[in-house]
Amino acid sequence: MRSMVVVVLAVLAFGAQAEEESTPCDNVETTEQNYDCVVFNKKTAERELNAAYDELLDRAKSQYTGNSAQLTDFTARIKAAQQLWIKLRDADCAVETFQTTKGTQDFDMAQNTCLAQRSDERSEYLQSLGME
């Protein structure tokens, strides 16, 4: 429950900060601005995914203090799951970008959008894992 409060507060803080800061996604009118927005969203989603992953590992360390065998087992499992997820993400994005030509802006936009969406979904999942 406490972790959910922290997540909600972080989202609210990020939202408040986002209102104050300008992003490439503000007032998108051109293809180039749209491209910059898609890249920004991908980088933001990846940064949030890395934070969610690190926070999960930190929660595990707190949860399994004094029980190194369980911590080692959990850490190995989450790392293996993350590696498999990366393969699935890449395969899914290959399907989603199938009809675009690599090296084109259309491909890059589709690829970045897919990576951002999958990273957002994975972040939510990692945040939802309760340590009990």
pLDDT digits over 120-132, tens only?
999 999 999 976 6
At 71, the amino acid letter reads L
CATH class as words, domain 2-128: mainly alpha
User: What are the pLDDT digits (tens) for 65-89?
Assistant: 999 999 999 999 999 999 999 999 9
pLDDT at 24: 85
Q: Report the alpha-carbon distance of residue 39 to residue 47 in Å, rounded.
A: 12
Q: Report the alpha-carbon distance of residue 79 to residue 60 in Å, rounded.
A: 12
Q: Report the alpha-carbon distance of residue 75 to residue 95 in Å, rounded.
A: 30
| Whether the Cβ atoms of residue 119 and residue 46 lie closer than 8 Å to each other | yes
Q: How confident is the model at residue 21 (pLDDT cuts 50, 70, 90)?
A: confident
Q: How confident is the model at residue 1 (pLDDT cuts 50, 70, 90)?
A: very low
Q: Report the alpha-carbon distance of residue 118 to residue 87 in Å, rounded.
A: 12
- Domains of the chain, residue spans: 2-128
Q: Report the alpha-carbon distance of residue 3 to residue 8 in Å, rounded.
A: 9
